[in-house]
Amino acid sequence: MKLSLKESERLDDLQFEGLKIVQDRNLYSFTSDSVVLANFLKIKRGEKAVEIGSGSGVISILATKKTNVSHITAFELQQPLYEMSIKSLQLNGIKNVDVINDDVCNFKKYLSVGSVDVVFSNPPYKKEGAAAKNENESKAIARHEKSLPIEKLVKCASDMLKFGGRAYFVYDADRSAEMIYHLICNNLQPKRMFFTENGRKKPILFVVEAVKGGKSGVKVLPNLVTNDSDGNYIQEIKDGIWSK
C-alpha cells in the first residue's frame, strides 16, 4: 500500500512478521514498554479486547499477530496519534482493530458494560506536574497522568470486563503498590506480575495481569532485565523481545 507521510513522520520496522508502524518526531514514540506488554498478553481465539490509550497503535498491531484475538477496540484521546495509528493499520492491512478518538470514560457510547474479555494498557504513569518544562503538550499527555489518572484507568477497565475477564497493565515500578491497591478496589485480582530492571538492578516497570472476580493468589515471575549498566538494550532483548 502506498502511504503518504507528513514531513515529520517516519516509517519504522517492528521486526516481527513484516509489521511496520508510522511514528512522528513531534509526538510520543513507543518504547520497549509496549513490546514487553504485547508479549505478556494472553488472548484466546474468539476473545474481544480493548486497549486504553493506544497511542501509535503498536500494542494492538502486535497483538493481532502475537495472540488469537478476534477484535480489538482501541481508545486514543489525542487526534494526531489516532490519525497516525489509522495509517499504520491500513499499511499493515489489519482489519480487526477499530480505533476510537475519544476519552475512554465515554466507552459506554461504543461498548456495553461487562462485555469485554481482555483490557490492556500502557498508560501515562508519571505523576501530573512532573513534566519537563520544554516537553510539548502531546508528549506530556502521553507520559503523565494528566487525562488518565490511575483510578480512572482501572475503574474503566473493570467496568468493561466480563466476570473472569483479564486486565493487563504496565506501570512505573515505584507506583506498583498504587496499581495493586486500585486493582483490588475494583474487583481485579492480580494473578501474574513481574518487574523489568536495568543493569543497575533497579526495577523500572511493573507488569501485571489481573482477573475480574478472581480468587486471591498471585504468581510473581522473575524480573526481566532489559538494559546493561550503560542503559543499552542487552542482546537477549534485542534478539528476543520482538518475538514470542
Q: Which three cell numbers stand for residue 92?
A: 499493515
Domain annotation covers residue 188: yes
| Model confidence at 220: pLDDT above 90 | yes
pLDDT of residue 184: 98
As a whole number, mean pLDDT of residues 165-185 equals 97
pLDDT of residue 231: 66
What confidence category does residue 127 fall into, taking pLDDT thresholds of 50, 70 and 90?
Answer: low
Domain annotation covers residue 3: no
Greatest mean pLDDT among 13-27, 125-139, 177-191 lies in: 177-191
pLDDT of residue 243: 44
Domain annotation covers residue 24: yes
What confidence category does residue 135 fall into, taking pLDDT thresholds of 50, 70 and 90?
Answer: low
Tell me the per-residue pLDDT of 45-54, one tens digit each, with 9 for 90 and over.
999 999 999 9
Higher pLDDT, 147 or 109: 109
- In this structure, what CATH number is given to the domain that contains residue 137? 3.40.50.150
As a whole number, mean pLDDT of residues 198-221 equals 92
Q: Partners of 194 in the beta sheet?
A: 207
Domain annotation covers residue 2: no
Domain annotation covers residue 178: yes
pLDDT of residue 160: 98
Number of domains in the chain: 1
pLDDT of residue 241: 46
Residue 113 domain boundaries: 9-240
Domain annotation covers residue 70: yes
Domain annotation covers residue 44: yes
Domain annotation covers residue 4: no
